[in-house]
Structure 1
Amino acid sequence: MKPTPSQRRRGPRAALLALVLCSLLVPLAFIFDRAPSGYVTTDERRRQEVFVPSFVHVEPSKGGGGGAVDPVPVHGVIQEKKISNGTAAVLQRHEQTGRNSSGVSAKPKVPPVPRTEPPKAVNESTQRTSEVSNARKRRGAKADEVENAKACQLEFGSYCLWSTEHKVIMKDSVVKRLKDQLFVARSYYPSIAKLQGQEVLTQEMKQNIQDHERVLSASAVDADLPSFINKKIEQMEHTIARAKSCTVECHNVVRKLRQILDMTDDEAHFHMKQSAFLYNLGAQTLPKTHHCFSMRLTLEYFKSPSLDSDVSLARKFKTPNHRHYVILSKNVLAASVVINSTVISSKEPGNNVFHILTDVQNFYGMKYWFARNSYKKAAIHVVNYEGMILEKLPKFSPRELYLSEEFRVLIRSTERPTEQTRMEYLSLFSHSHFFIPEIFKDLKKVVVLDDDVVIQRDLSFLWNLDMGDKVNGAVEFCGVRLGQVRNLLGKTKYDPKSCAWMSGVNVINLDKWRKHKVTENYLMLLKQLVKNNDEVSLREAAFSLSLLSFQHLIYPLDKKLTLSGLGYDYGIDPEVARSSASLHYNGNMKPWLELGIPDYKKYWRRFLTREDRFMDECNVNP
C-alpha cells in the first residue's frame, strides 16, 4: 500500500522537529554540566596562557637541555616581575578552585550502622588498599612541596633556601588552639548577631573573641600565656558549641571562613615579602661592624706617618716575571682572606703580587690594613680604581667600581613546565673588569680572583697554561647556553651552542686581550645594549656583555679548579669542599655575613686575621 502525500510530508517534518529539539538540548546539557573535569580543563588552559608566553621555546641540543632561560639578576629585572606575577596568578586560581570544590560539598547526616567484623581476606585487602592510598597521598604531598618550593624560589630567590634551612617548627599547641577557636568564632559571629533572641549569646561570643585577641596580642608562645588560659579555652568551646546548635545559614559561615582564609593567606604572603626584603637588605648591605672597621682604618691612615711601599715592592708591581693577581673588592676582610689563602697555599709566596682595585671610600683603609700586615713577603698593591679611570678614561661614563655581577637564572621547558624547572646562579664579569688591560699596561698575564673566593691549593700551574689564541681561562657552565638566552643578546651574531662561563678564578692573557680588542668591542656593545646609563640598566647589561665580549675567546679550565655555590647551596658535600682547589661563595649568603651557611664558613674563617685591635673594638666576629 503506497503512502498518501500527507504521510510522505509527515516524515521530513518529524526529522526536522527532532533536529531542532536536539539543537536546543545540546547547549542546555553543556550549560548544566557541573562535572569537575570542566574546571580542570579551564584551569589548564589559563595556566598555558600565563606560562608559555613568558618563555622562548628552544629546540633541544646535544649539549644542553631543550628549554628556555630567563636570566634574572639579583637586583631585579622586569622579566622577574612578569614571571612572579604569572606564578602567583596560577597558584591563586588553583587555590580558589580547590576551595570552591571543597566548600560546596556537604555530607548529610546518616544514622550509625551496626559494626561487624569483616573477614580476614577483606581486612588484608583493605589494608593493602589503604597503604597504596597513603603512598599516593605522600607522593602527592611531596610533589606539592617541591612545586611550592619552586614557586617560592622563583618569586623570592635564595631567601626561600635560607628560610627552609632555618625553619622553626611550631611547638606551641595552646597558641595554635587559641587561633583556631578565634577563626571559628569570627566565622559564626556575624550570623549569630543577626538572630533574634540571641542577644546574650552574641554578647558572650563578642567578649570571648576580644579576650582571645587580647591574649594573642601579648603572647606568641605557650610560655607567655597567662595562668587562666584554660578557663578561657573552655568558655570559648562552650560558646562555639552553643553557636553551632543555632539554626544559621551555612553558606554565610562558609563565606566568612573563606574571607578569613584569604586574609590569612594575604597576611602570610605580606610577611613573606617583608622577610625576603629584610633578607636581601642584610645580604647586600655592609654590616655596621664592618663599616666601623673600615672607618677606623681610614682614620688611622691619616693619623699615621707615610705608608708608601719601598722601591723594591714598587718595582714588583710592573715586572711581568712575577705572578700577578687582580682582586676587585670593597671589603677589607674579604680581600685579606683571598690574599692570605692564596699565599699560604702557594709554594713560592714571595713571587706573588696582588693588585687590589677598590673605590675611593675604602682606598685609604685598605692601604693602611695591608701596610701593617705582612703576607709572607708577597707584594700588595692597592689601586684607587675610580681615580685611575678618571685619569686614563675620562670619557667613560661608569666610573664607579663594579664587582662581579651575580645572576639568578630560571630554566624551564615549555613542554613540561612543572617538572623541568631549575634555578641556576651565574657569576660574571662586571664593567670594571674590562679595563684591567688599560690599568696594567706593563703586564702580560694575570689571574683575576673574586673577593668571595678561598684558595686551598697552589695556583702556580695557571701561569704555565698554553691557552693558544684564547683570552679568558674560565670554568664553563654548560647548564646555560647562549641559544637559550637569545632574547637578551640582541642582534649580535653568536654561536647558540656556546656555554656560559663563571667568574671566580680566571686566567687573563692581556696580550691576546689587546690583540682581539675586547675592551673596544665591549664599549661598542655597551652603546647598543644600554640605552639608559642608570645603575640598574648597567648592572643588568653585564650578563649579555660578558657573554658576547668573550665569544669564542674562552679557554675552558678544569671543573675541579673551582667549586661554586657555597653562597646558596646547602647540599654541597663537605669532603668535596675540603678537597677542591678553590671555593667560590657566589650567592647571597657570603661567609662574612650572619646569613652565611654555617657549614661552609669554617673554610673562610681559618684564613681570617683575628689578632687585630680594630676588629675587637668594632666587634667584628664573622
Structure 2
Amino acid sequence: MKATPPQRRRGPRLVLLALVLCSLLVPLAFIFDRAPTGYVTTDERRRQEVVFHSFDPVEPIGGGGGGGAVDPVPVKVPVQDAPKKISNGSSGVPPPQHKQIDRPPLAVSVKPKVLPVQRTEPPKAVKGSTQRTIEVSKDIKKQKKDLKPDEVENLKACQLEFGSYCLWSTEHKVIMKDSVVKRLKDQLFVARSYYPSIAKLQGQEALTQEMKQNIQDHERVLSASSVDADLPSFINKKIEQMEHTIAKAKSCTVECHNVVRKLRQILDMTDDEAHFHMKQSAFLYNLGSQTLPKTHHCFSMRLTLEYFKSPSLDSDVYPARKFNTPNHRHYVILSKNVLAASVVINSTVINSKEPANNVFHILTDAQNFYGMKYWFARNSYKKAPIHVVNYEEMILDKLPKFSTRELYLSEEFRVLIRSTERPTEQTRIEYLSLFSHSHFFIPEIFKDLKKVVVLDDDVVVQRDLSFLWKLDMGDKVNGAVEFCGVRLGQMRNLLGKTKYDPKSCAWMSGVNVINLDNWRRHKVTENYLLLLKQVKKKDEVSLREAAFSLSLLSFQNLIYPLDGRSTLSGLGYDYGIDPEVAQSSAALHYDGNMKPWLELGILDYKNYWRRFLTREDRFMDECNVNP
C-alpha cells in the first residue's frame, strides 16, 4: 500500500491546532469579561441602571417634600435614604433560629420534560417610609455624624453619579497604611513639577542633574514596590536626599506659573485616575449585586438535578382545592431565589397565629421551577401549603400574544428631585420600588381568589400579619405604603398626557394587600395593557423603565394607604437604622443592592434574615452556602 505523503496529513494537525487555540481563547474571554471570581452571572435579580431622560422644571407642589423637576435616575440602585417605618406589633422578636423539617428523600421515577429556559434580567425591591421626606443630606449626617458639611455634599454628589456604591464605599473605606509609598509619590510629583523650570536656569546644571537622578531613583523604587513592606532598606536615605534636593529647588528663583501649571496637570491626571477607579469600583459593586454567588448557583442546580433523580413531585401532598380556597390567607411571592423565598415563608408562618391557614403561591420562572418544587417538597413550614407555579408557562397559556412573558421582580427607581428655586441646596434623592409588569397578571393566574397579600422575596416578617386580612379597603385595589415625598405632579413629564391627580402620593411595593375582585371590576390589567401599547419599547431596558409610570398610573385613585409603621425599609442600603426600631417592626424590607444573602449585605442587619434560614441541609453544605 502506498504511504500517504506528509503534506496530506496537515488537515488533522490544523484541526488540532485550532482546538488548542480555542482552549486558550475561552479562558481569556472570561478574564476580559471582568466578572469577579467566585460568582456566576445569572438573571436571579438583575439591578440594571435605567437612566431616564431629563425633565423640564415644574412648580413645587404643596405638601410632601417641596419639589421641582424629577429625575428618576436608575432602576438600579437599591440603597438610599428614605424615611423609616415602625411596627404595629407589640410582641417580642422571633426566636433566634428556626429549623424546617425535612421530609424523607424520595426515590426515582419518570420525569416530565424540561421547559426551555428563558433568561430574563429583573431587578429588586422597594423603598421605605411615608408621611414625610428626609433629605439625603440629613440622613447622611445621621449616619455619619463626624462628616463635615463639604464631605456630606461630596457624598451626595457621588450618589447622584454612582448611587448606593458611595454609601457602601464610605462604610468600607480603607485607611491608607503604606504611608512611606505615599510620601515617595508626593515627593516625585513635586520634583517633576520643579524639574523643567530648574533645567532652564543658568548655572544650575549640578542641581538639575541631582534632581534628575533622584527622580529616576524614586521611579525605579516605585516600579518595584507598591507597599511599604516591599521597599528597600535604604529608602529613608533616598527620601532625605529628595527632600534636600526639593528644598534647594524651592530656594531658586523660578517662574511660579510654570510650576503651578505642572502641578495642575498632575492634579488633573490624579483626579482623572481617581474617577476612573471610582467608576471601575462602582461597576464591580453593581456586578456583585447583580450576580448570584457561585455557591447559590451550585445550590439551585443541585436541587434541579435532584428533582429529576427523584420520584415525580407533580402529585402534590395538598389537593388543588387547597390552593383555591378563598377563605384561606393567600400569599403571593415572585422569586427566583430559593433561599430568599424560603425565608419569607418561614418568617411568616413562625410568626403567624394560624400557620396552617396560610397558603403560599411562589411564582418563578422555568429555569428555577424544578429546584423550587423540590426544595419545598422536602421542607415543611408548619403544615402551610406551598404552591410553586411556573410563571412563564402560565402566561404562555393565559396570554399567548403578549410579549412580556419573563418573570420580573419589583422594579427599583432612584429619583432625583431638584427645587426650581434653589436647585443646589434642595436637591434630594429618593428610592421607590413599584410593581413590575409581572405583577399585573396575578388576577389572571389566580382567578378563583378574591384577596391576596403580595410579598417581595427580600422581606422578613416579624409579627403576625393577620391584621392585613381584616382591612376594609372599600373600593380600593392595592393596599400599599404611600410615600408623599414624591407626588405625581412632580413627574408630569414622565406620566404624559394621561389624567391624574397631581397631589397624589407615590406608593411602594414590598408588602401589598390586593383586592382581586376590585382589581377585575376596575379592569386594572386591561388599563395597564392599553397604557403599555403607548410605550415605545425599544428593548428590555425601556420596557422595564416604563414600569415606573405604568405602575403609578394603573393604580390612580385605587391605593389604600397602609400604616407606614408596619414595614421598615432600607435594610439594603441604609447603615443608620436603629436596632430597636428594626426589632419592633412588623416586617423588614431589604430594599437596596445590599441583599442579606450577598457578601455585600450590611452585616448588622443580616442576623434578622439569617435566623429564619434553614441551616442543616446537605445541599447547602455540599455547595458551601453560608450567607
TM category (shorter chain) comes to: 0.7 to 0.9
Match of 2:282 in 1: 276
Q: What does 1:540-579 correspond to in 2, within 5 Å?
A: 540-579=545-584
- Aligned partner (choices 605, 610, 615) of residue 615 of structure 2: 610
Secondary structure in structure 2 of the residue aligned to 1:162: helix
Aligned pair 1:335/2:341, yes or no? yes
| Shift in Å, 1:223 | 3.4
Q: What amino acid is the match of 1:378?
A: A
Aligned pair 1:599/2:600, yes or no? no
Q: What amino acid is the match of 1:163?
A: S
Match of 1:234 in 2: 240
- Within 2, Cα distance between the matches of 1:279 and 1:194? 48
Q: What residue ranges of structure 2 are gaps of 5+ in the alignment?
A: 1-53, 78-144
| Shift in Å, 1:224 | 3.5
Q: What does 1:127-276 correspond to in 2, within 5 Å?
A: 142-195=148-201, 198-276=204-282
Checking the alignment, whether the CA contact within 8 Å between 1:147 and 1:418 is kept in structure 2 is no
Match of 1:346 in 2: 352
Match of 2:505 in 1: 499
Q: What residue ranges of structure 1 are gaps of 5+ in the alignment?
A: 1-52, 77-138
Checking the alignment, whether the CA contact within 8 Å between 1:325 and 1:352 is kept in structure 2 is yes
Q: What does 1:446-465 correspond to in 2, within 5 Å?
A: 446-465=452-471
Q: Taking structure 1 as reference, are residues 257 and 579 closer, same or farther at Cα in structure 2, changes over 3 Å only?
A: same
Q: Taking structure 1 as reference, are residues 533 and 402 closer, same or farther at Cα in structure 2, changes over 3 Å only?
A: farther
Deviations 1:251-310 (A, max 9, x none): 211110110011011111111111111111111111111111111111111111112343
Q: Taking structure 1 as reference, are residues 361 and 315 closer, same or farther at Cα in structure 2, changes over 3 Å only?
A: same
Q: What amino acid is the match of 1:427?
A: S
Checking the alignment, whether the CA contact within 8 Å between 1:450 and 1:504 is kept in structure 2 is yes
| Shift in Å, 1:191 | 2.3
Deviations 1:533-576 (A, max 9, x none): 51100111111000000000000111111111111111111101
Deviations 1:362-389 (A, max 9, x none): 1111111111111110111111111111
- Within 1, Cα distance between the matches of 2:513 and 2:220? 64
| Shift in Å, 1:594 | 0.9
Higher relative contact order structure (alpha carbons within 8 Å, sequence separation ≥ 6): 2
- Within 2, Cα distance between the matches of 1:347 and 1:218? 66
Match of 1:72 in 2: 73
| Shift in Å, 1:218 | 4.0
Q: What does 1:66-105 correspond to in 2, within 5 Å?
A: 66-75=67-76
Secondary structure in structure 1 of the residue aligned to 2:491: helix
| Shift in Å, 1:411 | 1.7
Secondary structure in structure 1 of the residue aligned to 2:148: helix
| Shift in Å, 1:209 | 2.1
Q: Taking structure 1 as reference, are residues 203 and 364 closer, same or farther at Cα in structure 2, changes over 3 Å only?
A: farther
Q: What does 1:40-51 correspond to in 2, within 5 Å?
A: none
Checking the alignment, whether the CA contact within 8 Å between 1:313 and 1:379 is kept in structure 2 is no
* Alignment RMSD (CA, Å): 1.9
Q: What amino acid is the match of 2:552?
A: L
Q: What does 1:316-331 correspond to in 2, within 5 Å?
A: 316-331=322-337
Q: Taking structure 1 as reference, are residues 282 and 188 closer, same or farther at Cα in structure 2, changes over 3 Å only?
A: same
Aligned pair 1:582/2:587, yes or no? yes
Task: Give the total of aligned pairs.
Answer: 507
- Within 2, Cα distance between the matches of 1:296 and 1:205? 64
- Aligned partner (choices 535, 539, 543) of residue 544 of structure 2: 539
| Shift in Å, 1:147 | 1.6
- Within 1, Cα distance between the matches of 2:220 and 2:319? 70
Checking the alignment, whether the CA contact within 8 Å between 1:470 and 1:554 is kept in structure 2 is yes
- Within 1, Cα distance between the matches of 2:196 and 2:56? 47
Tell me the TM-score normalized by structure 2.
0.78
Aligned pair 1:379/2:385, yes or no? yes
| Shift in Å, 1:311 | 5.5
Deviations 1:58-91 (A, max 9, x none): 2331344243321122349xxxxxxxxxxxxxxx
Q: Taking structure 1 as reference, are residues 491 and 415 closer, same or farther at Cα in structure 2, changes over 3 Å only?
A: same
| Shift in Å, 1:315 | 2.4
- Within 1, Cα distance between the matches of 2:321 and 2:264? 75
